[in-house]
Structure 1
Amino acid sequence: MTTSSNSSSRKIPLICGGHSRPVPEIAYSPVTPDGFFLVSACLDGKAMLRNGVTGDWLGTFQGHKGAVWSAQINVKADRVITGSADYTAKIWDALTGEEIHTFTQNRIIKTVQFSKDDSKILTGGQDKILRIYDLNNPKDEPLSIAGHTNTIKTALWTNENTIISGGQDNTFRVWDVRNGSQVKELPFKSPVTGIECSLDGKHVTVTAGKEVFFLNVQSFDVIKSYTLGIELNTASLSPDASTFVTGGSTDFWVRVFDFNSAQELECHKGHHGPVHCLRFAPDGATFSSGSEDGTIRLWQNGDVKCYGLWQEWKDKESFQ
């Protein structure tokens, strides 16, 4: 069986259907006693929960009246949060699919996130304001943080006191949530399309235009940056920080690069539209991609292996 990393066309993804419109965001839970899980947002107005290893469908969260732009799952994997074009963020019971609470705003919500201890949520979107809600007192007014001058595309916690955000105003910003103050700002030449707190616990990955940046998670100083040949929507760093994957708006491919040199190692073809989101699974064995074509694809990381649902392909020419 050939397992050369340069023959990425030999890798057959698991294709997860079910959505009917573009998939703008996917997110994994941490590893739990029951395994780990994958949640997806979709412009069809629904979010879906899947087994993180196999991609098997577990449930659909229905109740939004507009496109769902963002979906995240909490540390315990028992709650899901979604943000929508219907101006609401919703908390869901991940086990039953029932809606627990709705937070209403006055513009489209583009990003939602749980805090590290699952006690708060963060939202951001077209009104250019970050909001923090206390889940122990969900009816209380949120803490509002202003400073962005255009739509906030993505925002998340790095620790209990620090939030990072980026968007259409071409800036990456760092905030102290204890007083709502901005503590750092990094200007870019293009809008910030993606931010990830990498699984190695040391890096923040940022995409803007054709550039990908890797920042120190403590100081937010730029450690590495590379200019690539496509307009990037997303990037994700492997858990061992040896490779990173990218997806963009100018082709339909998922590319794998060496972290230290930016040498392209693999190019995965199969999506029928731009790739909007990418994330490595917490075990590092696979990574997933979400696309304009409405599908999620799970790809093997590293050499081709025959296991799980990939067993059925072990006799195909691709795996000879």
Structure 2
Amino acid sequence: MSQPPLQGVISYPVTPFDPDTGDLDLAALDRLTHELVAAGSHAVAPLGSTGESAYLREVEWDAVCETTLQAVGGRVPTLVGVSHWSTEGTVRRARVAARHGATAIMVLPQVYWKLTEDELRQHFATVAGAVDLPVMLYNNPGTSGVDLLPETVVALARGIPNLTMVKESSGDVARFRAIPELSEGTLSVYNGNNPVALEAFRSGAVGWCTAAPCLVPRWCLDLYEAARHDERERADALLAELLPFLRFIVGHGLPRAVKAGREIQRRGLGRPRPPLQPLPDGETRRLRELLARLDAPSAADGAAGPTPNGV
């Protein structure tokens, strides 16, 4: 397998909105992007579901793409989520991402009608053929309603030379071995299900796609390094501390939970965009407790060293 263009902790920024007007806050996005790079993220991935891309007007989508890639400034690779309900819209977004210097693009089958395998193949082939960039297929049955099994993923990738990566968010750890094996090493696999991060690395995932660094970057990077160096005791201790937080942000919706966490940390990024609503008070109190626990000295410190959450 050739060296994949992305690996390690791939950080997903939320999209900030002005707390008064609800408009895009591009200055806050610029600051957040700089924070994620300075914290040690191995790549930055705007405009996924965490970035509320489904709720952006096209002019807003373009502005978020441009602002984020300019803020990264080539310091780390970038992965832009270009998904749209239509093939035409996805192609347009892919070309905008390419024009602004994206390293790679990510495509989720964002559907209303269930697509046939032929329709999925045509969609991915058309998008991939519109740009000269590596393409990541995104399997997220929880948000798309479509679960692409390893055999289907490999079949889709045949005949699409630049479809070389798969973000697997089903939570089925066996797929991190199955996809590279079935594709004879042509597909690299990335974990998009936060709670199984450590199992995924141990099963062959080359990267972790996560919004958690918006709140606790050091913990995420420490876990990756421990997994990469096969420091099993240290990695297990880190995950034990981090797991309640990871389960919480996934279970309560990433845009809601991350934005609530940033408010708790006094680094607010505005409210989610309707129909999403801010995290309710009870859940916000629980998140405050989880973040306080990660800020405090912990059982993981002895094995992992200090794990500051700031950037």
TM-score band, normalised by the shorter chain?
Answer: 0.3 to 0.5
Using structure 1 for the length normalisation, give the TM-score: 0.32
Using structure 2 for the length normalisation, give the TM-score: 0.33
Between 1 and 2, higher relative CO (CA 8 Å, sep ≥ 6) is seen in 2
